A and B are shown apart, each in its own frame.
Chain A
């Protein structure tokens, strides 16, 4: 096991207090309940999916921001966290664009 003499970057430890952690946990719990609750109603297929995905995205963001300490990270880490969001958008947008521009005569 190497014992590095190189110490780069920020080594300080960030801690999130119990109050914040409980608030985050409560928020996640409430959002889970909301996800289940709206699934019981038929808002139309598209709206149901958009609603569920929006809540899931908010929950994932909260987890990343607090539990995964993104809150304390530098800009580069944010780039690595946000770039996949762009790729996800690219994948979804392109797939939808491709589907909606298909020649209807072939399908």
Chain B
């Protein structure tokens, strides 16, 4: 084995011991906390998905005959808020990061295990506030734009308070991971040997740490605006509603990369294993994560091209937006080059990784369209944007996330799912996703605006196709969840290294023991030396 040596921890009980509800709630084991995040975010993914399905059902016909316009507004607000703040942002970073980072760098836990548990509890507190907000749910959309969010009669304060609290969890997790990666790498795990998932997690943690406070303050200002009527965003009191958008997107554009950079790390781990080739352009992939993290702070105004901002600022930010495509393309080219002349096996994690490459490229390139100033004026707030962001968020992050769940499933749970069923689920998910969202590009170009429960009849065919696609997608998700849950009850134990990975986490038993390594390993070689004879 290239990375250190396998350690004799087989005799030790797995981290699932001891059992009992309280042992989970009070655990400081990073693996358990990762699983708790996984279960919680999966719940929110399913709830957010149900909101999406109901909205798509409403859009089968041009009239508002299933949901009232207000209910529709509430549903897309809940869908967006749940999926962004409660599923995707904490999703990959917190669940996979928690489980994998210490294992991958040869550590026994994260740097601050109690703080780690505290972060999860803060996350739960945020979700509890969100449930309170469901009594009179907001109808503002997940961006909570002023002035409507100040004027809306719905409970905007509670849902934004939930997101505010949630932000602390994100900040603390990011800080924990940064310290862990700096301080707890095992001997020999130099920066140039770090798994690319760790590089990606580090870049993500920087964004979590530095960008999240801005949205926290922004939402606090919004709450103060609603409750105290201060006037930060009210022109009548000397404020400016565009100030809210500036603050909001200063966080929320980097947040897009909080969501997707960990998925980049996942793809970098999966592709070399299933192509049986060393990763191509290791340093380029590692550094490009940081380039994305840095550039992402310089592009936020592209969300506001039609908000009445100055043309000078818009032109500058249109140019800056193009820059972010460069490090992203570097990654895609390197992943593709990794597969060149590789001995590729199409098991379920690889199917998700390949889908990611295909779909994220579409999402990324359509992002370049939207970054182009003149094009954006035409496409802004149309279904083109909806399709673009879903190709990035689902096609990128969620496909990467599902690929990761399949790839590391044996390590998490010590069992295996049914591979054939996993492939069937992937097929439905992939086809359903494209049938749902690809027609939305055409609708958007033709002028169909987003966030409307009703629409002109000329768009009905596109909407029908999109709705049927959402049903196919849902079938894929259900099959996948059933398969993964059924796998937990399978009698066959998973091997230590299901797919022949050279990464350190595959040297410990499945599932790993409490403190991962009996003795801290020493890494002697690169993580990606696949195919060497």
**Which A residues form the contact surface with B (CB < 8 A)?**
1-6, 8-9, 76, 80, 83-84, 87, 90-91, 94-95, 97-103, 106
Q: Are B113 and A90 in contact (CB under 8 A)?
A: no
**Shortest beta-carbon distance, A66 to chain B, in Å?**
21
Give the CA-CA distance A97 to B314 in the complex, in Å.
11
List the A side residues contacting B514 at CB < 8 Å: 2
Q: Are B515 and A2 in contact (CB under 8 A)?
A: yes
Q: Are B246 and A95 in contact (CB under 8 A)?
A: yes
**Of residues 231 to 283 in B, which have CB atoms within 8 Å of A's CB atoms?**
240, 242-243, 246-247, 250
List the B side residues contacting A87 at CB < 8 Å: 210, 214, 297
List the A side residues contacting B250 at CB < 8 Å: 91
List the A side residues contacting B297 at CB < 8 Å: 87, 90
**Shortest beta-carbon distance, B187 to chain A, in Å?**
9
List the A side residues contacting B28 at CB < 8 Å: 1-2
Q: Are A99 and B240 in contact (CB under 8 A)?
A: yes
Main secondary structure of the interface of B (DSSP, over half): helix
Q: Are B313 and A6 in contact (CB under 8 A)?
A: no
List the B side residues contacting A80 at CB < 8 Å: 178, 209
List the A side residues contacting B182 at CB < 8 Å: 8-9, 76
B25 part of interface (Cβ distance < 8 Å)? no
Q: Among B45-53, B219-227, B304-312, B495-503, which stretch is in contact with chain A?
A: B304-312
Main secondary structure of the interface of A (DSSP, over half): helix
**Shortest beta-carbon distance, A42 to chain B, in Å?**
16
Cβ 8 A contact of A98, one of B29, B107, B213, B310: B310
Cβ 8 A contact of B186, one of A6, A76, A83: A6
> How many A-B Cβ pairs are below 8 Å?
72
**Which B residues form the contact surface with A (CB < 8 A)?**
28-29, 107-109, 113-114, 178, 182-184, 186, 209-210, 213-214, 240, 242-243, 246-247, 250, 297-298, 301, 308-313, 514-515, 520
Cβ 8 A contact of A8, one of B29, B184, B243: B184
Q: Are A98 and B210 in contact (CB under 8 A)?
A: no
Give the CA-CA distance A2 to B310 in the complex, in Å.
54
List the B side residues contacting A100 at CB < 8 Å: 310
Which 5 pairs between the two chains have the least Cβ-Cβ distance? A2-B109, A101-B310, A98-B313, A101-B312, A102-B310
Q: Are A6 and B107 in contact (CB under 8 A)?
A: yes
Cβ 8 A contact of B108, one of A2, A84, A95, A102: A2
Q: Are A6 and B183 in contact (CB under 8 A)?
A: yes
Q: Are A106 and B308 in contact (CB under 8 A)?
A: yes
Most B CB within 10 A of own CB, among A83, A95, A97, A98: A98
**Shortest beta-carbon distance, B33 to chain A, in Å?**
12
Give the CA-CA distance A4 to B250 in the complex, in Å.
38
Give the CA-CA distance A2 to B515 in the complex, in Å.
6
Q: Are A83 and B210 in contact (CB under 8 A)?
A: yes
Q: Are B301 and A94 in contact (CB under 8 A)?
A: yes
Cβ 8 A contact of A90, one of B29, B186, B298, B515: B298
Give the CA-CA distance A94 to B320 in the complex, in Å.
13
Q: Are A98 and B309 in contact (CB under 8 A)?
A: yes
**Shortest beta-carbon distance, A103 to chain B, in Å?**
7
Q: Are A103 and B184 in contact (CB under 8 A)?
A: no
With contacts A101-B310, A102-B309 known, is A4 near B184, CB below 8 A? yes
List the B side residues contacting A76 at CB < 8 Å: 182
Give the CA-CA distance A2 to B30 in the complex, in Å.
10
Using CB atoms, name the residue of chain A closest to B315: A101
**Shortest beta-carbon distance, B405 to chain A, in Å?**
25
Cβ 8 A contact of B113, one of A1, A6, A8, A91: A1
Q: Are B310 and A103 in contact (CB under 8 A)?
A: yes
Most B CB within 10 A of own CB, among A1, A6, A84: A6
Q: Are B311 and A98 in contact (CB under 8 A)?
A: no
Give the CA-CA distance A6 to B136 in the complex, in Å.
50
List the A side residues contacting B311 at CB < 8 Å: 101, 103
Give the CA-CA distance A22 to B5 in the complex, in Å.
54
Using CB atoms, name the residue of chain A closest to B214: A91
Q: Are B313 and A9 in contact (CB under 8 A)?
A: no
Cβ 8 A contact of B183, one of A2, A9, A97, A106: A9
List the B side residues contacting A99 at CB < 8 Å: 240, 310
Cβ 8 A contact of B246, one of A6, A91, A102: A91
Q: Are B184 and A94 in contact (CB under 8 A)?
A: no
Give the CA-CA distance A105 to B308 in the complex, in Å.
11
Most B CB within 10 A of own CB, among A4, A8, A91, A100: A4
**Shortest beta-carbon distance, A17 to chain B, in Å?**
28
Extra A-B contacts (11), CB below 8 Å, given A2-B515, A87-B210: A2-B28, A2-B108, A80-B178, A83-B210, A87-B214, A95-B243, A98-B301, A99-B240, A102-B309, A102-B310, A103-B311
Give the CA-CA distance A9 to B179 in the complex, in Å.
10
Q: Are A4 and B313 in contact (CB under 8 A)?
A: no
Give the CA-CA distance A90 to B301 in the complex, in Å.
12
Give the CA-CA distance A8 to B106 in the complex, in Å.
14
Give the CA-CA distance A6 to B179 in the complex, in Å.
13
